Structure 1
């Protein structure tokens, strides 16, 4: 069926999200590997994405792991450096779709406070027609409930939604609900998909 609306994930689709790379630069790869092996930092972040207070969550996690206290606090204090840089071609695709009159939504695992930070750093995050941010919703991808809520709120038939995300599990959960999907592995391939769907011309997708 023809696509009628496009849904973007944000992390690693519009903004690079590579905490390990940040820590490699700050404390060295060897110590970073030891820290990530010892601590479930991504699990802590999942709690933030479900709506936990960002500062409180990181502070509590640091207090529970005093040997890594300073490094854990970097997750809070240097978050904007971890969530960078933006991916310019993806942002151009977002704006090109909107200029072409295609409804564009965001569906992202993102904390309440971290998204507020990101909005200030990346003004394009205000350019979506609708935004579905997990921290505000209290549920994260790939839980089926977050997709169901998107369907109910946007009122678009799942069969004509095109969703791009860099994680295969998030894509699979959307596909199970009948969404059209694109596993994001770079903006050019997604640009080609948008052209093939007739949503953009090749020139518009550059």
Structure 2
């Protein structure tokens, strides 16, 4: 029986347009990213460099960019947060049947945008028993260490834990540790349908 639910953030609660950043950068004739630059992205997600350092990496690598243009392109991936998902989460919190945890690969620039543009962000955050952002814990999905960290932090067992994420690489890694998973398809499914789609787990 599930006692703990771990939620991803993007494309679970907050709608994303994942190709948007690449699409915006292409407008500035930027389409090829070296492995070194992709590694910088991962380091930034893990909080191993500041936002200022990260922006400077891009602006120095691509002189046609400035801080404002890059930040706008970087945030283009972020869309809206439908209110019905907040209401679903609040109901779960009120019922008190499950430990609720957020686990997100994100970064400070994105979270700053969310805080400015999602008026109920604090209300959302307060629904969780644990709120783990990759840049704050210096770990990122799909590395096994991040799941082990969350399980240990909350003293929960994998078999009694459900992890919801839209990225198959992330859910596969969690499943390998014995965690129950739902690889949600944001084009066809909504987190609010959890107890219909995954009724066999409850």
Cα distance in 2 between the residues matched to 1:137 and 1:47 = 12
CA gap of 1:168–1:100, structure 2 versus 1, over 3 A, is same
Aligned partner of 1:185 in structure 2 is 185
SS in 1 for 2:57: helix
- Deviation at residue 121 of structure 1 after TM alignment: 3.0
Please name the residue that 1:58 is paired with: 55
Distance in 1 between residues matched to 2:32 and 2:73, nearest whole Å: 21
User: 2:30 & 2:136 partners in 1: Cα distance?
Assistant: 29
1:166–1:183 CA contact under 8 A, matched in 2: yes
Aligned to 2:195: 194
Alignment of 1:63-82 (within 5 A): 63-66=60-63, 68-70=64-66, 73-77=68-72, 80-82=75-77
Cα offsets for 1:130-160 (capped at 9, x unmatched): 1111101111100111111001001111111
RMSD: 2.9
Cα separation, 1, equivalents of 2:40 and 2:82: 25
Residue 174 of structure 1: CA displacement?
0.5
Q: How does 1:18-57 map to 2 (within 5 A)?
A: 18=17, 20-21=19-20, 24=23, 31-32=26-27, 35-38=30-33, 43-51=39-47, 52-57=49-54
Matched position secondary structure for 1:82: coil
1:183, 1:33 → 2: CA distance?
34
Label 1:7 to 1:33 Cα distance change in 2 as closer, same or farther (>3 A): farther
Equivalent residue number for residue 7 of structure 1: 6
TM-score for the superposition, normalised by structure 1: 0.78
Deviations 1:26-48, CA, capped at 9 Å, x for gaps: 67xxx449523356776543222
| CA positional deviation for 1:13 | 1.3
Mapped to 2, the partners of 1:136 and 1:17 lie a distance apart of 21
5+ residue gaps, structure 2, are: none
Q: Which residue of 1 aligns with 2:103?
A: 107
Secondary structure (helix, strand or coil) at the match of 1:37 reads: coil
Which region of structure 1 is more displaced relative to structure 2, 147-156 or 179-188? 179-188
Q: Which moved more, 1:3-12 or 1:118-127?
A: 118-127
Change (3 A) 1:53 1:136: same
| Greater share of residues in helix | 1
CA separation in 1, counterparts of 2:34 and 2:22? Answer: 14
Per the alignment, residue 151 of structure 1 pairs with: 151
Question: Please, which runs of 5 or more residues in structure 1 have no aligned partner?
Answer: 200-206
